[in-house]
Chains A and B, each alone.
Chain A
Amino acid sequence: MKELLSGNEAIARGAWEAGLHFAAAYPGTPSTEIMENLSRYKEVFCEWSTNEKVALEVALGATFAGARAIVSQKHVGLNVAADPFFSASYIGVTGGFVIVTADDPGMHSSQNEQDNRHYARAARMPLMEPSDSQEAKEFTRMAYDISEKFDTPILMRMTTRTSHSKSLVELGERKEVPIVPYQKDTLKRLLLPGHARKRHVFVEKRMEDLAEFSNTFPGNFIHWGDREIGYIASGISYQYAREAFPEASFLKISFSYPLPEKLIREFAAGVKKIVVIEENDPIMETEIKAMLCGQAEVHGKDLIPRQGELNPNILRESMGLSSKSVAPQTSLPPRPPALCAGCPHTSVFYTLHQLKAIVTGDIGCYTLGAMAPLSSIDTTVDMGASISNAHGMDITFRLLGGERKKVVGVIGDSTFFHSGITSLIDMVYNRGMSTVVILDNRITAMTGHQQNPGTGLTIKGDPTVQVDIEALVKACGVKDVHVVDPYDLKNLKKVISEAMDREEPSVVITKRPCVLLFKKSKWTSCKVDRDLCIGCKICVQLGCPAISFKEKKSSIDPMLCTACGLCADLCPKKAISLSQEGGRAIREAWDFETKSMKKEEA
């Protein structure tokens, strides 16, 4: 039976068919749906881990105990997990282990374009690169046998296009694989230098065996066509190239580290020249050039762009087969992402803007506080950096002396659990005095609403412990801790500005659920009395997508408005009021004291 699956659905399906027992991940675009799809299989234990390092360690533990395991993360997530990732290569596996990295060429939703194929080489771990959903499913299924045969984890590299595009997949059945009974094996799993030296010898031998295997892997194959130019490509680039050059010869590489040297030499002997097509870095190109060392004409990044995604047109242009499109450049109004109407983060950024604070940001929806008109974030680096960046800046400003510059770190609930806690402890321990605002919207929102340690539910919806952020922060040694309702603008401003003025570290927790959690609710809306509106544009400064400014007056789109009432509170002429039609105001939707989210959802 064939189904139309996304690459991420296909990875989950392939792992399940391979008898997968255990899955762990931290959400990150474009990888998130792998775990979400795995969680639908009752045979697989699944968890959202607190971060990618934890996920990899947990899954590695599962393989120690004999389970077949998978972890998935976005490309920068593997940076977080890099420490256990390198060790996992030496340790190898007991139950098969697949590590999925979903890279983001073109940076659709990431801070960089790093090419994680480098990691395979750095850690001496085999690498597979599916080019469509059928391959994603098949390669993942096959990866478990390869992993166990060669005693190695497998790095599976997806990209935004292979993860998020859908294509036809022939489904298979699940093959149950027993969990291997545990046996203590310290030489393998206890990486003392003396053990690790022996394991490194094993790893090098393993890579030689895998290099031989690469020549026989069915996903590495030659398609002979016209022999003038032979194209070598992996991943989605192969699909672009097959379309761009339908008559040409191809060497399709799917098991791309170690490279299939025999196939490459056979291919090089059969074509006049070689062009290596790969998105981002010239990784295969560099190795193939070294391998063939002057015996063949090899091109790559001298023709193909290194930045951004490729597509068939770009490839044809790169090879001089078509001229670049000369579509007129028009500057159309963009649709920048914005905080939703009624988003509980809006008031925080509005307030920080008012207070002229220096704000270090973090990774999540709330990075959008950087967009005009809120424009209130100075830096965004990586998960957890808001707090550590704030601390470093604050200390430096104090070294400078003079009037104190106030630095505020802003971080979401899930990001705080991910890697904010260690930064907060560092700041408290090292006598920092920054203010940290934890935006607790009761969910991991940016990646599409995943549960986290603060929500009280696991990925499968089972009830669990709800980590108390307030108690946690106090236990870290912060004395000045406040929990506030972000819809209460006046109090919010008072609490944050007082916290900023204190000569000690402080934490303000703003607590309100993400507006999109209330899926079934119908909201009433705010409306503007055009006779009272003086066109001062104060409400426009909230950057609310429901508010627009037409003919010198504000107006509110009732379709978008959730009646959070921030604009009404700000209006100096009381020109904005709550309409009584069409539902309730989101302000009243959640009992702030009893936190009765469940009641609302039911």
Chain B
Amino acid sequence: MKTIIICGVGGQGIILASDILSDVLMEAGFDVKKSEVHGMSQRGGDVITTIRYGEKIYSPIVGEDSADLILAFEKLEALRTLKYLRKDGTMLINDYRWDPIPVATGTMEYPEEEILPKIREKTKHIQTVDALAKAKELGNIKVVNLYLLGLLAKELGLEKSLWAAMISRRVPPKAKEVNLKAFDQGYGEVRS
């Protein structure tokens, strides 16, 4: 039984990424449960989805210190979600900063310098990537989520062909090529 959490900010394409992941896990023959909670706003609120898979899954959510892997689409959200990561679990971080309103209006500080040291206290399995830069190279900033999904897919060690099939089912036909390319690049990302 494994627990994956994908977190970030509303509007980053997290739900799509987690839907594709769930589809792949189901196709691979696992029992799957997925739970998502998003704030009240459609954009700008924090988003957490939990995906659990294995032979038989009961609870769709987990408490603290329980997730095997966290994929964070935003750095601050990585830190916010850290409490759910088990000791020495894997943390994949998109090196991207999205200021929350209290930071944007100058009433709070973005904890830039705290993020990595705090995460390192809990695990040494950390990988950070600049997915936005990669997406820009591909000419479509919307494929950040598929690039990050590729990075996550590499960690899971499932049959790779399943991914292409499930991605094709979920993304708009016009954007299929660039999404698959982004996924492949994320999948091929060399661990730093």
Contact = CB atoms under 8 A, between A and B. Distances in A.
Interface of A: 2, 4, 108-109, 132, 160-161, 164-168, 236, 239-240, 242-243, 311-314, 325, 327, 330, 332-340, 365, 368, 373, 446, 448, 516, 540, 543, 545, 547-549, 560
A37 B105 CA distance: 40
Nearest to A109: B40
Interface string B75-115: 01001101100000000000000011111111011110010
A325 B105 CA distance: 33
Interface string B1-23: 00000000100000000000011
* Residue picked from B9, B33, B36, most chain A C-beta under 10 Å: B33
B63 interface: yes
Contacts of B109: 333
B104 A166 contact: no
* Residue picked from A4, A242, A311, A335, most chain B C-beta under 10 Å: A335
Given A313-B66, A543-B105, 16 more contacts: A4-B22, A161-B35, A164-B36, A165-B34, A165-B35, A167-B31, A167-B33, A242-B59, A311-B59, A311-B62, A313-B64, A330-B118, A332-B79, A336-B39, A336-B101, A337-B40
A239 B58 contact: yes
B83 A338 contact: no
Contacts of B37: 108, 160, 164
A166 B40 contact: no
B32 interface: yes
Nearest to B33: A167
* Residue picked from B44, B46, B57, B99, most chain A C-beta under 10 Å: B44
B102 to A, nearest CB: 5
Contacts of A4: 22-23, 26, 32, 34
Interface of B, secondary structure class, is loop
20 contacts: A164-B36, A165-B35, A165-B36, A166-B35, A167-B57, A239-B58, A239-B59, A313-B62, A314-B63, A325-B65, A332-B79, A332-B111, A333-B108, A335-B100, A336-B102, A337-B45, A340-B41, A368-B40, A545-B104, A548-B104
Contact of A334 (B9, B31, B102): B102
B74 to A, nearest CB: 10
A313 B44 contact: no
B40 A333 contact: no
A581 to B, nearest CB: 16
A330 B43 CA distance: 24
Contact of A166 (B22, B59, B114): B22
A228 B182 CA distance: 54
Contacts of A548: 99, 103-105
Nearest to A324: B64
Contact of A373 (B45, B64, B80, B105): B105
B178 interface: no
Contacts of A368: 40-41
B191 to A, nearest CB: 27
B26 A2 contact: yes
B102 A166 contact: no
A194 B108 CA distance: 66
A540 B107 CA distance: 11
B83 A327 contact: yes
Contacts of B39: 335-337
A366 to B, nearest CB: 11
B41 A165 contact: no
A132 B34 CA distance: 11
* Residue picked from B61, B82, B102, most chain A C-beta under 10 Å: B61
A545 to B, nearest CB: 5
Nearest to B18: A166
Nearest to B60: A165
A550 to B, nearest CB: 8
B101 A545 contact: yes
Nearest to A244: B59
Contacts of B60: 132, 161, 165-167, 236, 239
Nearest to A551: B106
Contacts of A160: 37
Contacts of B114: 330
A547 B44 CA distance: 13
B41 A240 contact: no
B1 to A, nearest CB: 9
B42 interface: yes
A515 to B, nearest CB: 10
Contacts of A373: 105
Nearest to A371: B101
Nearest to B9: A335
A168 B62 contact: no
Given A168-B26, A337-B39, A312 B102 contact: no
Interface in B107-134: 108-111, 114, 118
A505 B32 CA distance: 56
A506 to B, nearest CB: 30
A219 to B, nearest CB: 16
Contacts of B82: 327
B42 A516 contact: yes
Nearest to B22: A4
A109 B42 CA distance: 13
Contacts of A242: 58-59
The 7 A-B residue pairs whose C-beta atoms are closest, nearest first, are: A313-B63, A548-B104, A165-B60, A337-B40, A337-B41, A165-B35, A243-B58
Contacts of B79: 330, 332
Contacts of B83: 325, 327
Contacts of B102: 333-334, 336
A294 B115 CA distance: 54
Contacts of B99: 548
Nearest to B118: A330
A167 B52 CA distance: 10
